Amino acid sequence: MSEFDLSSITIFGYGSLMTLSSVLTTMPDASNFRYATLYGYKRSFSLISVNATRNGTSRWATNETAALAISPSDSKDAFVRGCVFDIPATQMDAYKEREHRYKLMKVDVFEADKTTSAITVVAQTNDEYRSTMTEEQYHEKVGQYMQPYIPSGDLWEQTHMFPLRGYLEKCILASVDMDAATGSGEGSDGLSNFLDDCMLADGITSIRSYMKSNSERFSSDVMSLVTGRDASETFEEIIERRLGSVKMLPVAGLFNGGTGFMTWNAALVTKEFLKTQRLQSDAMPRKRVLDISSGNGFLALAAAAMGADVTATECFLAFKLLEANCKHNENNLGQHIDTIEYAWGDDVLEKFARRPSPKDFDMIIMSDLLYISFRDDIEDIFLQAILDIMPLGSTTELIFCFEQRKLEREEIFLTQLYDQFTVTEVDVVQEGLIRACTENDAGEREESDLNMFYVPPPVRLLLMKRKPIL
């Protein structure tokens, strides 16, 4: 498509591309992210998501399988609030592959004080989509995943489908971020535009009406945005309520025991640090958090309860418990936590294929992993795993927390890290993190884990970033 062969291309996003972290998963050099309006178009959940069907996040039992598309509107008052960003021409193919089910369109969008020419994607018919590839290619990309549910394999014009639950909630939160960023100016009605002007595939039912009729499917916090948030409830109270909704599955009878199956003090301190100093503002864009070797998933769930988009990893020994706890809490939290079976030493590119790269996350958490590496004499493998996850050039923050158990070996290990990272240590006592975790300790652990004669070792919390390339 030679008409798009420019050195820099502006893209208009109106669904998952309203979130910068989602943009960066396929277009890592995207820049100049800002908000804009497209007039003369309408937005609806009219496309079945083959990606969600392939990765298992579709809910076919309730037909929650649809993603967004836009199409020209007959109404002169129609508009879509969204965002624009710039990508190098070399990443246009990645954009086209991501949006291959749609038709590319050049449109004029309106920013605060100017009109901008942009590329976007619009709805098309099944026949139009199929005509872009051979039947064999269609089967490989779409048909093999859709046939168990829709034998024809058609993605468009399925009016009985409803929005993907997690995708819908993320679009709502992106609209809230838009309103916070634009203030009282042009585009400050992004949430109402999404809830009231965006429709189901039937073209009749608004998203607000659909969600009110199916409120049991969504978290109370998202529903408060749909019905009107209780102004008397502070953000801190909302977070505490969401944290209180997290329920860990009992280990006994389900999984074999081990250090990865318990919630340790380092995790409790890290949770308090995240709550008070990293995820504390509802006006902040949603953070992308990667929890490495998550164990039972306590920290991953806590970060999700604070509003972060979370990916959690664990090796095969504890992965089933991590996955089970995340799925068990999906309805309570109203969001999906991505889980990856990953062990130190695995190929990072392979394990994170078709997912955001570790460098695309805002922060990476590693809680109480030194003890494991020392116990199994694999600290060299652990050190290399850290460097693989955070290679030279990475700007992601690493939150590294551990209980001090083997001081000499810890200092040797940390000295090696200091060669590669800039490090700031948080005084967990002065910041009140130890007191807070002690107060909450009994509520986070199984009674059998508590021992009145046990004095836990000191906890250290380090904030790290890779040193810049010289």
- Spell out where 326-458 has E strands: 338-341, 363-367, 397-403, 421-426
Q: Do the beta carbons of residue 43 and residue 80 sit within 8 Å?
A: yes
In this predicted structure, the answer to whether residue 371 has a pLDDT above a threshold of 60 is yes
Q: Pick 128 or 237 by higher pLDDT.
A: 128
Rounded Cα distance between 310 and 289, Å, is 5
In this predicted structure, the answer to whether residue 122 has a pLDDT above a threshold of 90 is yes
User: Do 113 and 21 fall within a single domain?
Assistant: yes
User: Do 144 and 282 fall within a single domain?
Assistant: no
Buried b (16+ CB within 10 A) or exposed e, 10-36: bbbbbbbbbbbbbbbbbbeebeebebb
User: Do 290 and 373 fall within a single domain?
Assistant: yes
User: Do 18 and 161 fall within a single domain?
Assistant: yes
Q: Which two tokens stand for residue 290?
A: 């990667």
Of 174, 197, 227, the last residue of a domain is 227
Q: pLDDT at position 282, please? A: 52
User: Do 288 and 418 fall within a single domain?
Assistant: yes
Rounded Cα distance between 98 and 252, Å, is 43
Q: Which two tokens stand for residue 51?
A: 């990606």
Q: Do the beta carbons of residue 313 and residue 293 sit within 8 Å?
A: yes
Of 166, 201, 227, the last residue of a domain is 227
Of 202, 227, 252, the last residue of a domain is 227
Q: Pick 73 or 371 by higher pLDDT.
A: 73
User: Do 244 and 210 fall within a single domain?
Assistant: no
User: Do 292 and 439 fall within a single domain?
Assistant: yes
- Bridging pattern class, strands 103-110 and 79-88: unpaired
pLDDT digits (tens, 9 = 90+) for 419-433: 999 999 999 888 888
User: Do 273 and 326 fall within a single domain?
Assistant: yes
Structurally, the chain folds into a number of domains equal to 2
Q: Do the beta carbons of residue 200 and residue 212 sit within 8 Å?
A: no
Q: Which two tokens stand for residue 131?
A: 């005509």
- What CATH number is associated with residue 423? 3.40.50.150
Q: Which domain holds residue 192?
A: 2-227
* Average pLDDT of the residues in 31-48: 94
- What CATH number is associated with residue 181? 3.10.490.10
pTM across the whole model: 0.59
> DSSP states of 32-72 as a string?
EEEEEEEETEEEEEEEE-HHHHHHT--BGGGTEEEEEEEEE
Shortest CA distance to 4 belongs to which of 101, 97, 104? 104
As a whole number, the mean pLDDT across the chain is 85
User: Do 132 and 194 fall within a single domain?
Assistant: yes
Helix (H, G, I), strand (E, B) or coil at 434: helix
Kindly give, in sequence order, each residue whose CB lies less than 8 Å from that of residue 424, ignoring residues fewer than 6 positions away.
462, 463, 464
